[in-house]
Amino acid sequence: MSAAIEILGLEKSFILHLRAGTRLGVLRGLNLTVEAGECLVLRGASGAGKSTVLRCIYGNYRPDAGRIFVRMGAGIVDVAAAKPREILALRRMALGYVSQFLRVVPRVPAIALVMEPALERGATEAEARERAAALLFRLNIPPKLWDLPPATFSGGEQQRINIARGLVGQQPILLLDEPTASLDAENRAAVIELLREARGRGATVVGVFHDREVRDAVATRTIDLAAEKAA
């Protein structure tokens, strides 16, 4: 396998316990290959399964069926069959992830939250702080906020912390779930530039982007999950 990600026959459904256990099928037999270095954008109406695909790749959701092969260094991990410790190693070494929400940890400074993925990948304290500071600066988080916990930050500020945290580890694969949804034009432009630089370093990006401007600026390929289902 030369691709960064290969998905074969992926199926995922959810049980709606408040509706008498009704099973809602979201992904049915999805096949998808993401080549190293490309930026694949997932499109489709709400409920098409865009975020579900990302969460299955990241290991947050266990699929009902199918295989999810992710390249990690010289090896390959099947996320669908991997043990928890293997998924944690995959996240640390290969997968950067930016969701729509920041998991705020009380009393932990913003810069410490951002530094953590870089430290986990072996960066020194000084290297991690330097990378984190550079990202926070470019994402317009003023230094006076760096040593404060982000629990009281605005939604846009929290999302920029989230983006910095997802990029600082420099993992070779980035999964982005609506990373710019709460950002203004200036900060969207900053994210576009950071993603272009990441791809320039060889990173593979799979993302969901509500904002058409961002989507058009970063995508090398787009697929419509509704069309994939129909096929």
Cα 138 from Cα 70, distance rounded (Å): 30
- Could you tell me which residues come within 8 angstroms of residue 11 by beta carbon, excluding any fewer than 6 positions away? 25, 27, 28, 29, 30, 63, 64, 65, 66
What pLDDT, in 10s, does the model give residues 28-38? 989 999 999 99
**H helix intervals, 14-172:** 50-58, 84-93, 110-120, 125-138, 143-146, 155-168
Distances (CA, A) of 221 to 39, 43, 101, 139, 161: 6, 11, 25, 26, 27
What's the total number of domains in the chain? 1
Looking at the predicted structure, is the pLDDT value of residue 17 above 90? Answer: no
Is 212 part of any domain?
Answer: yes
Helical axes 125-138 vs 185-200, angle rounded to 10° = 140
pLDDT band at 210 (very low <50, low <70, confident <90, very high): confident
Is 156 part of any domain?
Answer: yes
CATH number at residue 43: 3.40.50.300
Is 78 part of any domain?
Answer: no
What pLDDT, in 10s, does the model give residues 89-146? 999 999 999 987 767 667 899 999 999 999 999 999 999 999 999 999 999 999 999 9
- Which range marks the domain in which residue 46 is found? 36-62+83-230
